[in-house]
Amino acid sequence: MANKDPLMITDKDEMRKWSRSMRAQGKTIGLVPTMGYLHEGHLSLIQESHKQTHLTVVSIYINPGQFSPTEDLSTYPSDLLGDIQKLKSVPGGVDVVFNPKNLYDYGNNDNGCGVGLDQEGGKVVSCVETGGMGHETWVRVERLEKDLCGKSRPVFFRGVATIVTKLFNIVEPDVAVFGKKDYQQWRIIKRMVRDLDFGIKVIGTELARDDDGLAKSSRNARLSPDDRQKALSISKSLFKAKFAAENGQNDCQELRNAVIQAIHEAGGKIDYAEVRY
C-alpha cells in the first residue's frame, strides 16, 4: 500500500523502545541507513528490506563523524519533507523514519566543525572531534579501510563504521540493507558485523543508474549540466573497460590507463583508478 505515513522518531531511546516492542511481537526489522536526499537507489533498498523482514526502518542522519572539516558537511543536500513524500510513494511504505538531531550529543551543544588537525597538529580528524562534542570511541576495520577511498579520506570509513554501529545498537535490526555503489563501504560493514558478532544480516543491492548511465547519488543534485556531462566519462570508461576485460583484455594496467585517460580527457581529476578481482 502506497502513501503510508511512517512513524517519525527522533529520540534514540524511543527508537530502541519501539524496536524491542515490535520484536516482542515476533516481528523482524530491516534497517536502511541513509543520509537523506533520497533517490531511486535508496528506494530500491527499501523494497529489498520488504522482501526480508516484516517491518522497515529508514534512518536519515547526516553523519559528521565521516566528514573532515575540509569536506562538504555544511553543503550536503537535505530535504526531509521531500524524503518523506518519496518514502510514502514506495509500495508498502516504511514503518519508521529515524531522524535524530545529533547522535554525538552527550550534553554539550557545540556542533561546529573547526580546523582539521588534532591538538598534536599532525592527524586529520573529523567534524565530531573538532566540534568539541566529547566523543572518543571509534570503530575501525583496519585493513579494509586503508586502501582505495580510504587513502584520500582518512576519517571516512572510521566514521561510517562507528555510526553504523551506533545505529545497529539503537535500532537493533535483524537485517540491514546497503547499496553496492559504495562497494568498499559495504564490504567494511560486512566485515565489521562478522568480526564483532552482530546478529544482523547485511545485504548489498546492485547500484542504480540514471538513463544516461550516471550512478544515482544524492550529491548529483549539485552538478551543473556541464559537470554532469563530464561525469558520464566515469561510467562510460568503466563499461568500456568491463567490455574489454570480458573479451580477453587481461592487462590490468592497460585497462586502468584507459579509464584514467577517458576521465582526464573529459576534464576530470582522478582520485584513484584500480582493477580488483
pLDDT at 115 over 50: no
- Order across the sheet with 201-205: list the strands: 7-9, 96-98, 55-60, 29-34, 175-179, 201-205
| pTM for the whole structure | 0.90
Q: Give backbone dihedrals phi and psi of 59, rounded to 5 degrees, phi first.
A: -95, 135
Is 42 designated active site?
Answer: yes
User: d(Cα 100, Cα 12) in Å, to the nearest integer?
Assistant: 7
- pLDDT > 70: percent of the chain: 91
52 contacts 203 by C-beta, under 8 angstroms:
yes
155 contacts 124 by C-beta, under 8 angstroms:
yes
User: d(Cα 169, Cα 163) in Å, to the nearest integer?
Assistant: 10
19-50 pLDDT tens trace: 999 999 999 999 999 999 999 999 999 999 99
Q: What was the pLDDT predicted at 107?
A: 66
Instruction: Please report how the helices 40-52 and 80-89 are oriented relative to each other, as an axis angle in degrees rounded to 10.
Output: 50
Please list, in sequence order, all residues whose beta carbon lies within 8 angstroms of the beta carbon of residue 37, skipping any fewer than 6 positions away: 76, 77, 78, 79, 82, 83, 218, 221
Q: What was the pLDDT predicted at 111?
A: 52
What is the full DSSP assignment across 175-215? EEEEEGGGHHHHHHHHHHHHHTT---EEEEEPPPB-TTSPB
- Marked catalytic residue, from 42, 50, 54, 135: 42
